[in-house]
Amino acid sequence: MRQFANFVAIVLLTTIPALADQVSLKNGDRLTGTIVQSDGKSLVLHTEYAGDLTLKWDAVKGIESSESLHVELQNGKTAVGPVSTSDGMVKIATSSGEVAAPVGSVKALSQQAAYEKLENGSLLSGWKGGVNAGFSFTGGNSQTTNLAIGFLAAHQSLKSKLGAYANTVYATNNAPGAVPSTTANTEAGGIRYDHDLNPKTFAFVGADFFADALQGLNLRSVFGAGLGYHAIKNDNTTLDFLGGLNYTRESYTTLHRNLVALTLGEELMHKLGKSTILNQKLYLFPDLNSVGDFRGTFDFASVTKISKWFGWQNSFADVYVTNPPLGKKQNDVILTTGLNVSFGQ
């Protein structure tokens, strides 16, 4: 009986390593773990002893996976199956036969289970984003109250992205006889859906809403659609250019107007180090009903992680309108700072 138990233990001990993924490096090292993903420039290997290891793809001599990987090649083709490499070729054992290609033609690879989860995930799951809030109060010679609340979330699949945002800024001067007593009162929100047509271009459709009590703007509703171009798209930086048309309805206390305008935009996201993310957006909306009139928006925000769930956020926004109601200013500038609480990380 003891001999049988020892035999089973030996079999298990020799089998478990065989079931793990193997990565051999050009310097002679050999690592065991689970291949998580690769973007053709680096490879992430999860190990029991050191967590996730990021290896330079150029330093990898060979890999051998025990589970199916989803492999994307430079020519746009994909293959699914256990992966091995030899003699500068990557071989994928698919259900319909072996697929071979040069190692340098691998654009990306990932665990098939993770790929399917990302591609087929429920709309109610997989959201990532954050809520930020800032508050200040003064008393004595100055008597003010300031409140800023923001929300940002995104649901991403392999070829599409659904994003939503909302923010509000409210401030009062509570000193006796102060005019105006309300010094800021804005609300904004919106939603946008992007879908990749190919690795470089995408289509988008969205709606944005904005109200500014001090400008006399009860509600501005903007419904737009168009095409975008991924000028840069990697883990650290994305730069998109967008163009399209929008229909805008504006309701001021003194006037109402409907107009059709162009949508011309640029969006930049950049990861600064390991803890800070910068986001910048610039949009112009030339009015097609009135030549020379336009609306422009500029947004800049940063979030610096303090811990996994908490961070410090700063944001700046400028909304410019060439033709506001008589007696109202063209620019509205908003600067906020405060605590950010992230979710879905």
| Closest-CA residue to 266 (of 284, 285, 286, 242) | 242
For position 3, what pLDDT does the model report? 54
Give the contacts of 231 (CB within 8 A, at least 6 positions apart): 239, 240, 241
Output the pTM of the full model: 0.68
For position 242, what pLDDT does the model report? 97
Q: How far apart are CA 335 and CA 103, in angstroms?
A: 49
For position 7, what pLDDT does the model report? 45
For position 15, what pLDDT does the model report? 42
For position 26, what pLDDT does the model report? 86
At 179 the three-state DSSP class reads: coil
CATH superfamily of domain region 127-343: monomeric porin ompg (2.40.160.40)
| Closest-CA residue to 57 (of 112, 109, 19) | 109
Q: How far apart are CA 284 and CA 242, in angstroms?
A: 11
| Cβ–Cβ under 8 Å, residues 204 and 192 | yes
For position 37, what pLDDT does the model report? 79
Q: Which residues face 27 on adjacent strands?
A: none
Q: How far apart are CA 187 and CA 207, in angstroms?
A: 14
**In the chain, what are the domain boundaries?**
2-119, 127-343
Give the contacts of 205 (CB within 8 A, at least 6 positions apart): 192, 193, 224, 225
For position 9, what pLDDT does the model report? 45
| Closest-CA residue to 49 (of 79, 97, 17, 80) | 17
Q: How far apart are CA 244 and CA 260, in angstroms?
A: 11
- Averaged over successive runs of 10 residues, the pLDDT of the chain (345 residues) comes to 48 48 87 82 80 82 82 79 82 84 79 56 70 82 83 83 92 79 89 91 96 91 96 88 96 92 96 90 94 92 89 91 86 86 76
Cα–Cα separations (whole angstroms), residue 39 to 222, 233, 241: 37, 11, 23
